[in-house]
């Protein structure tokens, strides 16, 4: 049996101190509390620590792993050989639990989850044989001249959400997270979140387009922030509008 993708626990688990190991739970694993609040396992960015109540996102996607060369691989195989990248080296297992698509005219393969990857060297003269193992077998062969695009797991190296966001909104921090540390971020249900301006209790909230890591009142019927990314409903607005409010998050409905 594989690692469960949904676990059930309590606040002590959700608010536990972070770990430097992904062995606590696979990235993206969903934690559900008895009151149905939900969280996802995430890893903090490598350079900027996170504080409590910040809205986070996946980092902006890189163009260094888009439309890359790969060896010719038969249908039914899971191991891709001679995987390439562009401009910057990619570390071993940086794409573990990430995703890969095969770029071909027929587009017969679904998206594949990545089990593991070797280090991938961007310099052609220094390139080593780089393999990548998929969680599921190829349904169609990769022919000469076809390419692949691969991305990291959305919950790997999450960052304070940029305003406006440049990636998937991944959740709200429930405790401070040091760089590289793994921990849970809130995705559904009642949580504390930094606010940008007054919220309207009972009204919608969205990711701020002007202050990183915060939420704003979302009032589409008046055109106020109507193009912002909706994240939930306001339950409490702090009188100090740059402080913390309370929202019922709806980032995670699956």
Instruction: Quick: pLDDT tens for 150-166.
Output: 999 999 999 999 988 88
CA 237 – CA 201 distance, rounded (Å) = 7
Instruction: Quick: pLDDT tens for 176-186.
Output: 999 999 999 99
Same structural domain for residues 42 and 167? Answer: yes
Same structural domain for residues 220 and 204? Answer: yes
| CB of 16 closer than 8 Å to CB of 39 | no
Same structural domain for residues 67 and 109? Answer: yes
Length of the chain: 254
Taking Cα atoms as reference points, which of 241, 236, 225 lies closest to residue 163? 225
Q: Residues 83-94: what's their mean pLDDT? A: 92
Same structural domain for residues 51 and 66? Answer: no
Same structural domain for residues 191 and 74? Answer: no
- Provide the residue range defining the domain that includes 49: 6-59+157-250
Give helix then strand counts, H and E, for the chain.
1, 17
Structural domain count of the chain: 2
Instruction: Decide: residue 250, CB within 10 A, 0-12 exposed, 13-18 middle, 19+ buried.
Output: middle
Same structural domain for residues 18 and 143? Answer: no
CA 2 – CA 209 distance, rounded (Å) = 39
Given 88, 116, 151, the domain boundary residue is 151
Instruction: Quick: pLDDT tens for 15-54.
Output: 987 888 777 788 999 999 999 999 999 999 999 999 999 9
């Amino acid at each position: 049996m594989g690692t469960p993708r949904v676990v059930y626990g309590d606040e002590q688990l959700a608010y536990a101190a972070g770990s430097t190991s992904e062995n606590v739970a696979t990235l993206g694993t969903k934690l559900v509390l008895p009151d149905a609040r939900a969280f996802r396992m995430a890893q903090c960015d490598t350079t900027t620590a996170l504080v409590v109540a910040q809205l986070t996102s996946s980092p902006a996607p890189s163009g260094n792993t888009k439309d890359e060369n790969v060896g010719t691989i038969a249908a039914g195989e899971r191991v891709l050989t001679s995987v390439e990248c562009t401009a910057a080296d990619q570390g071993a297992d940086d794409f573990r639990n990430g995703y890969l698509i095969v770029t071909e005219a027929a587009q017969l393969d679904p998206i594949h989850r990545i089990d593991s990857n070797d280090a991938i060297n961007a310099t052609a003269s220094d390139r080593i044989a780089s393999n990548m193992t998929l969680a599921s077998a190829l349904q169609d062969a990769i022919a000469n001249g076809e390419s692949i695009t691969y991305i990291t797991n959305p919950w790997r190296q999450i960052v304070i959400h940029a305003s406006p966001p440049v990636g998937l909104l991944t959740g709200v921090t429930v405790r401070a997270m040091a760089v590289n540390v793994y921990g849970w971020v809130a995705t559904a249900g009642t949580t504390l979140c930094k606010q940008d301006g007054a919220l309207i209790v009972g009204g919608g909230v969205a990711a701020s387009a002007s202050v990183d890591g915060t939420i704003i009142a979302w009032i589409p019927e008046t055109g106020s922030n109507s193009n912002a990314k909706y994240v939930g409903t306001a339950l409490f607005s702090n009188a100090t509008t740059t402080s913390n409010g309370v929202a019922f998050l709806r980032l995670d409905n699956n």
